[in-house]
């Protein structure tokens, strides 16, 4: 019974195994990106970024059909272009970066929907928007796993400057170090992860697996590295449970996975060790010193 519920789907079906490995890789790379996204107060900018992939992915689709490499490359270029353009606008005007980001991604999103509607059906659009983790093939798997490798190596390389740039940007600047370089390296890694996630979960859902575990982890950990260590297993657990539930109940996998990630978030919000509802209520009894 337990075997049938938990193991058999993966043992019997290749697509479930590939989906499981893909979500393991996405969880490890994506959740550490998510931790930095929330620490940089860029959670909503991450959302904007994920929408900005759309015109590139759509253009790839228009030129190369349903080819993953074409759509991924297009998505990555569109995401980076949006990030760079909004960064440049923010630097050369007095506009704040979140506003210029919103302007850029709304433009990108509209372009994307328009391009998809030129050729292709509503089914294609649904695929791009919501992904199909059960359709992950070997090419997609290699793409996802390579992304995770690049992400972990990249984050390890820029970890310290990135942390300092988050919490005290002036300190780096005073030492003549250009923090914006690390900012854009990080953005490139974030876009890369969104691209890797969009085949599996879709542009709209990919950010859920990246961000929700990171937010949940912030209710437990007190330092950046421990947040990352807590976020990754939570991401993988929500992916694995989500896959099983969607398999047995015949539900679309992307939303189910993201909903389980939000369960982790709500649970952490309620009983977490830091700033959670439980801690707030237990404040009624104060300590001696």
Partner 1 sequence: MTAALRLVDLTVSYDRHPAVHHVSAEIPAAEMTAIVGPNGAGKSTLLKALLGLAPHIEGRIECTAKRIAYLPQQAEIDRSFPISVFDTVLLGRWSRFGGFGAAKPVDINDARHAIKAVGLSGFERRPIDTLSVGQFQRVLFARVLLQDADLVLLDEPFAAIDSKTVADLMVLIQRWRAEQRTVVVVLHDLEQVRRDFPNALLLARELVDAGPTARVLSADNLLRARAMAEAWDEHADACEVPMRLSA
CA–CA separation, 222 and 257 (whole Å): 26
CA–CA separation, 212 and 251 (whole Å): 20
Q: Select from 111, 269, 130, 244 the least CA-distant residue to 198.
A: 130
- Pick 135 or 224: Cβ nearer partner 1: 224
| HSE value, Cβ hemisphere, 13 Å, CA-based, for 27 | 23
34 contacts 197 by C-beta, under 8 angstroms? no
| Nearest distance in Å: CB 161, partner 1 | 4
- Pick 87 or 112: Cβ nearer partner 1: 87
- Pick 117 or 226: Cβ nearer partner 1: 226
- Pick 5 or 282: Cβ nearer partner 1: 282
| Nearest distance in Å: CB 213, partner 1 | 16
Burial of 150 (0-12, 13-18, 19+ CB in 10 A): middle
| Nearest distance in Å: CB 224, partner 1 | 6
- Pick 118 or 174: Cβ nearer partner 1: 174
**Strand, helix or coil at 176?**
coil
| Nearest distance in Å: CB 163, partner 1 | 7
| Nearest distance in Å: CB 164, partner 1 | 6
| Nearest distance in Å: CB 266, partner 1 | 21
- Pick 14 or 170: Cβ nearer partner 1: 170
Q: What sections of 40-93 are H helices per DSSP?
A: 43-64, 68-92
For 284, the token pair is 């009624």
273 contacts 219 by C-beta, under 8 angstroms? yes
Residue 7 DSSP label: I
Q: What are the two backbone dihedrals, phi and then psi, of residue 87, each rounded to the nearest 5 degrees?
A: -60, -45
- Pick 63 or 157: Cβ nearer partner 1: 157
C-alpha dist (Å) from residue 163 to 8, 151, 179, 182, 224:
43, 16, 10, 10, 8
Residues 6+ apart with CB under 8 A from 45: 37, 97, 98, 101
| Nearest distance in Å: CB 150, partner 1 | 18
CA–CA separation, 103 and 85 (whole Å): 10
| Nearest distance in Å: CB 110, partner 1 | 32
- Pick 157 or 270: Cβ nearer partner 1: 157
Q: What are the two backbone dihedrals, phi and then psi, of residue 250, each rounded to the nearest 5 degrees?
A: 65, 35
Binding site for partner 1 (CB under 8 A): 39, 94, 157-158, 160-161, 163-164, 166-171, 173-177, 218, 221-224, 227
């Amino acid at each position: 019974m337990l075997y049938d519920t938990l193991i058999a789907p993966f043992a019997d079906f290749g697509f479930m195994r590939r989906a499981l490995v893909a979500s393991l890789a996405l969880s490890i790379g994506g959740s550490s990106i998510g931790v930095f996204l929330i620490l940089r107060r860029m959670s909503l900018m991450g959302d904007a970024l994920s929408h900005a992939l759309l015109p590139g992915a759509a253009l790839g689709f228009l030129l190369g059909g349903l080819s993953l490499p074409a759509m991924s490359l297009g998505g990555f270029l569109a995401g980076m272009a949006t990030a760079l353009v909004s960064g440049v606008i923010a630097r050369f005007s007095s506009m704040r970066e979140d506003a210029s980001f919103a302007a850029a991604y709304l433009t990108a999103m509209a372009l994307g929907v328009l391009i998809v509607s030129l050729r292709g059906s509503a089914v294609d659009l649904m695929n791009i928007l919501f992904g199909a983790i059960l359709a992950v093939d070997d090419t997609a798997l290699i793409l996802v796993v390579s992304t995770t490798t690049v992400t972990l190596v990249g984050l390890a390389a820029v970890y310290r400057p990135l942390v300092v740039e988050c919490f005290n940007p002036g300190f780096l600047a005073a030492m003549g170090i250009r923090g914006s370089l690390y900012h854009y390296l990080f953005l490139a890694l974030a876009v890369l992860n969104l691209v890797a996630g969009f085949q599996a979960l879709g542009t709209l859902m990919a950010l859920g697996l990246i961000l929700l575990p990171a937010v949940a982890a912030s209710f437990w950990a007190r330092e950046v590295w421990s947040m990352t260590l807590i976020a990754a297993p939570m991401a993988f657990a929500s992916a694995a449970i989500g896959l099983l539930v969607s398999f047995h109940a015949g539900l679309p996998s992307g939303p189910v996975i993201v909903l389980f990630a939000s369960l982790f978030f709500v649970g952490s919000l309620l009983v977490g060790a830091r700033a959670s509802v439980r801690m707030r209520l237990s404040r009624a009894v104060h300590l001696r010193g």
